[in-house]
Amino acid sequence: MTTALHATVSLLLIVFTAGCATQRTIVPSAVVTPQRSATVAIERTKDAVVIGRSTKADVRARLGETQVIRFDNGFEIWVYRFSNDRIGTGAASRRDVRSGSEERPDRHGEFVILFAPSGLVAKTRTRPAPSLPPRG
């Protein structure tokens, strides 16, 4: 009985050790295209996408190529930046008064589209441009 117990424990120890010694393959969970986000006018996004109906080809035709984040599960996120400095104002990008330079791209709002594995739009999100901090 003791010999069978020792053999079982030894076999389990060998199996567990072999499991730890094998190398895991690490696959990224998302792939981001190197292309920068396309800049679009806010007005173009309003009727360009219909949730559950618009396809990738439809959106590409209406808004153009942009940065894409592809996930292993088949979902994709497309990110577009607004050419306006504030959502809904229709104002063009302005110069930063304090530094005299053009506003940074992160000062623009963005339009994000989530595609389901079927290739249809699942969700959209509009993120407004961050407001400038008050002068002090």
Task: Point out the least confidently predicted range of 65-69, 93-97, 129-133.
Answer: 93-97
More confident residue, 45 or 2: 45
Report which of 67, 50, 66 is spatially closest to residue 58, judged by C-alpha positions. 50
- 61 vs 12, more confident: 61
- What confidence score (pLDDT) does residue 136 get? 58
Better-predicted residue by pLDDT, 128 or 66 = 66
Smallest Cα–Cα separation from 117: which of 65, 74, 71? Answer: 74
Cα distance between residue 119 and residue 53, in whole Å: 10
- 3 state DSSP class of 128: coil
Q: Tell me how long the chain is.
A: 136
Alpha-carbon span 47 to 28, nearest angstrom: 34
Tokens 């594995």 — which residue? 117
CA-based Rg of the chain, rounded to a whole angstrom?
25
**Which pLDDT band holds residue 75 (cuts at 50, 70, 90)?**
very high
Domain boundaries, the chain: 29-127
Residues 6+ apart with CB under 8 A from 72: 27, 28, 29, 30
